[in-house]
Structure 1
Amino acid sequence: MAEMDRFRKRARALRARQSSAEARLWQALRNRRLSGWKFRRQHPIDVFVVDFVSLEGKLVIEVDGATHSGADEITRDSERTRVLESLGFHVLRVTNTDVYDNLPGVLDAVAHELDLPKL
């Protein structure tokens, strides 16, 4: 139980200091604004706190900034994706630039992922 409390506190802290790209995407996803799908932000799943998740759609959205371009970060992100997929989630990664320069395209990609049949 103590570990779950630690993840909840971490998630709360991450929500308080979200990036501007995350804030912009959140405004488009919150309150079921995207085709009625419910999203949570900075939500704990297993040992991770994901940027956004639709639990009913089994979709995780990760917004990656410049810090995700190094070899170590790419390896960590790949492992994170593997674990989340093993739990039945699909992971969609978008960049900060995608959110800033093409938010409608990001939302189309999210909607497309949610409409795909789930295994």
Structure 2
Amino acid sequence: MKPYNKKLKLASRDLRNNMTDSEKLLWAKLRNKQICGLQFYRQKPILNFIVDFYCPSANLVIECDGSQHYTPEGLEADRVRDEALVQLGLKVLRFDNGQVMGAIYGGSKLQ
């Protein structure tokens, strides 16, 4: 079990109730063990972060990034966050919202 910050529980719930369009689309594909029978959780608190999607059995985090992630501040925050998650043994995959929308609506693969 990865470190869980109980103080983020309400924020996590709020994020689940207010997902972006790309998060909703990706969740529709990840939920109910649709991918290789793997269980994913959405908006999961780990350490002092809330990750978009988490698969404990694969040690995998998937992030859907909006434009705020591509500012100098956003890039640095994501670098620090990813480094901390990697230290826990997690693999972090990041996709921008356009990649997610294109892959789901356009049939291309996320890379």
Scaled by the length of structure 2, the TM-score of the pair is 0.90
Q: Distance in 2 between matches of 1:67 and 1:97?
A: 13
Q: Show the counterpart of 1:115.
A: none
Q: Are 2:16 and 2:43, in contact at CA under 8 Å, matched by a contact in 1?
A: yes
Q: Show the counterpart of 2:6.
A: 5
Supply the AA of the counterpart residue of 1:63.
Answer: C
Identity of paired residues, percent? 34
Q: Would you identify which runs of 4 or more consecutive aligned residues in structure 1 move more than 6 Å?
A: none
Q: Are 2:5 and 2:47, in contact at CA under 8 Å, matched by a contact in 1?
A: no
Supply the AA of the counterpart residue of 2:18.
Answer: R
Q: Are 2:5 and 2:46, in contact at CA under 8 Å, matched by a contact in 1?
A: no
Q: Cα distance, 1:9 vs. partner?
A: 0.8
Alignment of 1:40-79 (within 5 A): 40-79=41-80
Q: Distance in 2 between matches of 1:33 and 1:4?
A: 28
Alignment of 1:1-119 (within 5 A): 4-103=5-104, 104-106=108-110
Matched length: 105
Q: Show the counterpart of 1:113.
A: none
SS state of the match for residue 39, structure 2?
A: coil
Can you give the 5+ residue segments of structure 2 that lack an aligned partner in the other structure?
none
Can you give the 5+ residue segments of structure 1 that lack an aligned partner in the other structure?
110-119
Q: Distance in 2 between matches of 1:18 and 1:42?
A: 9
Q: Distance in 2 between matches of 1:92 and 1:71?
A: 19
Scaled by the length of structure 1, the TM-score of the pair is 0.84
**Structural RMSD (CA):** 1.3
Supply the AA of the counterpart residue of 2:85.
Answer: L
Residue deviations 1:48-74 (CA, integer Å, cap 9, x gap): 000000011000001001111100100
Moved more, 95-104 or 78-87: 95-104
Supply the AA of the counterpart residue of 2:58.
Answer: G
